[in-house]
Chain A
Amino acid sequence: MQSKIDKFTIPIGPQHPALKEPGHFEFSVDGEIVTDASVRLGYVHRGIEKGTEGRNWVQSLYLLERICGICSHVHATAYCLGVEKLAGVEVPPRAQAIRVLVAELERVHSHMLWLGVAAHEAGFDTLFMYSWRDRETVMNLLEGITGNRVNYSANVLGGVKCDISAEQDEAIRQGVDFLEERTRHYLEVVTSDMMFLRRTRGVATTPKAQARELGLIGPTGRASGISHDVRVDAPYAAYDIYPVKLITATAGDLEARFIVRINELFESYRVIRQILDTLPEGELTVRMPRRIKEGETVSRVEAPRGELFYFIKSNGTDTPERIKVRTPTLPNMASVLVLAIGHQLADIPMILTGIDPCFSCNDRMVVVKDSGGDNRAMTWEALRQYGIEYYR
């Protein structure tokens, strides 16, 4: 009897009730090697773009801020900057500086969150526990400034709602000093721990030309030498006064993505201190009109995951005509499908995590044999464990 080689399709996802963003992937495998991949998103699609068309400009701010729980501040910032541009309103320098301050604190929390998740996927739970413990420092700072741990709501149309007091100034400096020391340690760990390097060095390597073709953006792209950072290319808010240095690497593998993100943390600490040193005095808000002048604008900001793109169209009323949001995970997600091909199934958790997706673990996973029968269920946890065992 002729033996037929069975192709396995492995669906991963879509849901996990405890985690923020589910997605569904299907990986075809030939033995251990991934031969094809596809993605289905939308399990948390809430129709927010449409939702803004039925709400006024102020209500839309709070809706848009809820697109992302990790980087809510950049969404609000992109939106506010765009609407203020349309209205022709000049926001006070102190407000713009505070926007940048909160944005950089948010980047610190987001990168540390990612560091923990990525370490966890590699089975390095000590690093996960440490980075999440230390991340509490920045979460407390954000809560101290805005009153919230997530969806800080620091922005209002025309400025910010929170000021930085002398006590907060001191607390931020202390927190940043502590985090900087910890970050130095993390950089040493991810570049020297041999077990960890086996999961990152040379994995999902993306040369610059390929990264350009895939449209990689943010730290994921910068790890492949793509020198794009909206904060540098098109400084917004107060980034013209507090310029950031572009951080890139050339290796393009997962290790390079760790190095880029961790080095960006140092840059964030530097900018945070610089803002505190030279925070301009003055008002926090200006008056915004209820109706926004007719027109269209493009607003781009650098989210922790890369360029966040807003297109805003006003028809002259108190309600937006159209708001288009392109989040950084979308172009990066497409790259996973290409990069996964040719890699071991065991590398998938790390490749997915490597782009820092707004998509996390999925607890349901089924291995299905094409010819039917012999189905067995496997959880995301089991796949993670599989990856860890594979490299033991």
Chain B
Amino acid sequence: MSVENDLNTAANLLHVWTQEATTPEPERLDVRIDVADLLAAVKTLHDAHWGYLSAITGLDLGAEAGELEVLYHFCEGAAVVTLRVRTPRTDPSVPSLYPIIPMVTVYERELIEMFGVEVTDTPDPSRLFLPDDWPEGVYPLRKDFDIADAAREA
């Protein structure tokens, strides 16, 4: 199947939950969905055997926007479909994909510790990369985390 066909298939599968769909590059499809629809959308892709979950990216949109964005990248051949969900910066939370994709735990552990996003019902929320003595509530990939400040305090 060509990239175009793959992307069309995905667009149709995700149609019901799509808030906004864009094609920033020829082989990519970005689909904005609501956090509440995430599991249903992922399950649909998964059940249709559309690609595999390649990575989860966290984005801090900044204090002004007041939101974090979580990107779930699925790849099928050359096609990349990204599910984008937004969650408030003050109390960020996304559901765990563990019931659908069990291998997701390592990605979710990274998201939790780097962005402070709560991943509900993930089986293992323990730290994966950060040191044991890393302070609670400090999330290094948030935009307001400054390495120089942290080094001075330590």
Pick from A46-54, A90-98, A190-198, A249-257 the stretch touching chain B.
A46-54
A324 to B135, CA, bound (A): 23
Given known A50-B145, A54-B147, contact A215–B130 (CB-CB < 8 A)? no
Contact A85:B25 (CB < 8 A) given known A50-B147, A313-B59: yes
Least CB separation from B134: chain A residue: A42
Is A233 positioned at the interface, with any CB of B under 8 Å from its CB?
yes
Stretch at the interface among A28-36, A157-165, A267-275, A328-336: A328-336
A378 at the interface (CB under 8 A from B): no
Q: With A42-B130, A234-B78 as given contacts, are A309 and B106 in contact (CB-CB < 8 Å)?
A: no
The docked-state distance in angstroms from the alpha carbon of A45 to that of B128 is 10
Which of B77, B82, B101, B126 has a CB less than 8 Å from the CB of A234?
A: B77
User: Is B66 interfacial (CB-CB < 8 Å)?
Assistant: no
Instruction: List A17-57 residues whose CB lies under 8 Å from chain B.
Output: 38-42, 45, 47, 49-51, 54
Verify A233–B78 contact, CB threshold 8 A.
yes
Alpha-carbon gap, A313 to B84, bound state (A): 14
The residue on B at minimum CB distance from A313 is B59
Which residues of B (9-62) have their CB < 8 Å from a CB of A? 24-25, 27-28, 52-55, 57-60
CB distance from B143 to the nearest CB of A (A): 8
Question: Does chain B have a CB within 8 A of A311?
Answer: yes
What distance in Å separates the Cβ of A310 from its nearest Cβ neighbour in chain B? 9
Instruction: Flag if A326 contacts B54 (CB, 8 Å).
Output: yes
Closest-CB distance, B142 to chain A (whole angstroms)? 10
Chain A: minimal CB distance from B104 (Å): 8
Q: Are B106 and A331 in contact (CB under 8 A)?
A: yes
Is the pair A40, B52 in contact by a Cβ cutoff of 8 Å?
Answer: no
Query: Given the known A-B contacts A41-B129, A50-B141, A85-B25, are A311 and B73 also in contact in the complex, defined by CB atoms under 8 Å?
Result: yes
Q: Report chain B residues within 8 Å CB of A41.
A: 128-129
A214 neighbours in B (Cβ, 8 Å) = 102-103
A184 at the interface (CB under 8 A from B): no
Q: Distance in Å from the Cβ of A314 to the closest Cβ of chain B?
A: 12
CA A49 to CA B143, docked complex, whole Å: 12
Cβ of A168 within 8 Å of any chain B Cβ, yes or no, is no
- Asked if B59 and A322 make an inter-chain contact with CB atoms under 8 angstroms apart, the answer reads yes
> Which of A331, A333, A335 has most B Cβ within 10 Å?
A331
Is there contact, CB below 8 Å, between B141 and A311? no
In the complex where A214-B103, A334-B106 touch, is A42 in contact with B131 (Cβ < 8 A)?
A: yes
Across-interface contacts of B53 in A (CB, < 8 A): 215
Q: A213 contacts the other chain (Cβ, under 8 Å)? A: yes
A299 to B130, CA, bound (A): 26
Contact between chains at B141 and A213 (CB < 8 Å): no
With both beta carbons as reference points, the residue of chain A lying nearest to B109 in the complex is identified as A41
Determine the distance from Cα of A40 to Cα of B129 in the docked complex, in whole angstroms. Answer: 7
Cβ-based interface call for B105 (8 A): yes
User: Would you call A213 and B102 a contact (CB within 8 A)?
Assistant: yes
- Which A-chain residue is minimally distant from B25 (CB atoms)? A297
The interface residues of chain A lying within 8 Å CB-to-CB of B125 are: none
Interface 0/1 of B87-123, CB less than 8 Å to A: 0000000000000011101110000000000000000
Q: Does A133 contact B (CB under 8 A)?
A: no
| Chain A CB within 8 A of B7 CB | no
- With a cutoff of 8 Å between Cβ atoms, the chain B residues found around residue A331 in the complex are 103, 106
Q: Which B positions have Cβ atoms within 8 angstroms of A?
A: 24-25, 27-28, 52-55, 57-60, 71, 73, 75, 77-78, 80, 82, 101-103, 105-107, 124, 126-131, 140-141, 145, 147
Question: Which 3 A-B residue pairs are closest in the complex by CB-CB distance?
Answer: A234-B78, A42-B129, A326-B55
- A-B contacts, 26 of them at CB < 8 A, read A40-B126, A41-B129, A42-B127, A42-B129, A45-B129, A45-B130, A50-B141, A50-B145, A85-B25, A213-B102, A214-B103, A234-B78, A297-B24, A298-B28, A298-B82, A309-B54, A309-B55, A311-B55, A311-B71, A311-B73, A324-B55, A326-B54, A326-B55, A326-B107, A331-B103, A334-B103
- Excluding A322-B57, A324-B55, 18 further A-B contacts by CB distance (< 8 Å) are A40-B127, A45-B129, A212-B52, A213-B103, A296-B24, A298-B25, A300-B75, A309-B55, A309-B73, A311-B57, A313-B59, A324-B57, A324-B58, A330-B106, A330-B107, A331-B106, A334-B103, A334-B105
